A and B are shown apart, each in its own frame.
Chain A
Amino acid sequence: DTEVTQTPKHLVMGMTNKKSLKCEQHMGHRAMYWYKQKAKKPPELMFVYSYEKLSINESVPSRFSPECPNSSLLNLHLHALQPEDSALYLCASSQDGWAWGNYGYTFGSGTRLTVV
């Protein structure tokens, strides 16, 4: 299994809703990442988990809450989002932990989020 699987693929939510994005990998990768990508832009890093511990939070608003239940799973909990949060949310993983850094990332296909 050489994939990162993200669910759901599409999500429409209201500004008062609570929803969660899920990411799963079974490659034994020790670092996992959440990215946000707006149309025609490169991905922007949101969070880094290394060995199941939160290593980096790129000053992301608290309406986004990450969780890493185990080494294979990464969740992103969403609450009280704004329309400008509409974007493609990508999960990625890398073979090394955050402290190593020579490996590329494996990305999932993303969740396309629309906030109405």
Chain B
Amino acid sequence: GNSVTQMEGPVTLSEEAFLTINCTYTATGYPSLFWYVQYPGEGLQLLLKATKADDKGSNKGFEATYRKETTSFHLEKGSVQVSDSAVYFCALRTGANSKLTFGKGITLSVRP
């Protein structure tokens, strides 16, 4: 079956620090990969996505590259801001009649 593994959290960083959040996956077939962000008290927002190997998704300074050889989709940002404090979920979907499978999520706190 499909599964997504995220690094253990929470993560606390100072403003302008470099961010990496690890995500690895197991899937049947060829998944599409997603990062979702959930700000306090809100629903989930699609942050970025990649639908095939070596694709790079990017949005709001965040990037993630679909690495088929390492089955990974790590999220990176060069300089985090306090406003990036949120919960980040890695997710995948493998095509026909497939559920969106989420990782456990990781809480990021950025201090001024």
Residue numbers of A with Cβ under 8 A of B are: 4, 6, 40-43, 45, 55-56, 88, 90, 92, 98-110
Residues of A within 8 A of B46 (CB): 104-107
Taking A100-B95, A102-B93, A107-B36 as given, write out 13 further A-B residue pairs in contact, using a Cβ cutoff of 8 Å, ordered by the A residue number: A42-B103, A42-B105, A43-B102, A55-B97, A90-B43, A98-B97, A99-B97, A101-B94, A101-B96, A102-B32, A102-B51, A107-B46, A110-B43
Residues of B within 8 A of A92 (CB): 44
Cβ of B98 < 8 Å from any Cβ of A?
yes
Total of A-B residue pairs, C-beta within 8 Å: 60
Contacts A98-B97, A100-B96, A101-B94: A107 and B43 contacting too (C-beta < 8 A)?
yes
Cβ of B99 < 8 Å from any Cβ of A?
yes
Total count of chain B residues near the partner, CB < 8 A: 25
Residue numbers of B with Cβ under 8 A of A are: 32, 34, 36, 42-46, 49, 51, 87, 89, 93-100, 102-105, 107
CA–CA, A103 to B46, complex, Å? 11
CA–CA, A111 to B1, complex, Å? 30
Partner of A42, one of B45, B94, B97, B102: B102
In the complex, what's the smallest C-beta–C-beta distance from A110 to chain B, in angstroms?
A: 5
Residues of A within 8 A of B51 (CB): 102
CA–CA, A116 to B56, complex, Å? 46
CA–CA, A35 to B100, complex, Å? 11
CA–CA, A110 to B43, complex, Å? 6
Nearest first, the 6 A-B pairs at minimum CB distance are A42-B102, A107-B43, A107-B44, A101-B95, A109-B43, A104-B46
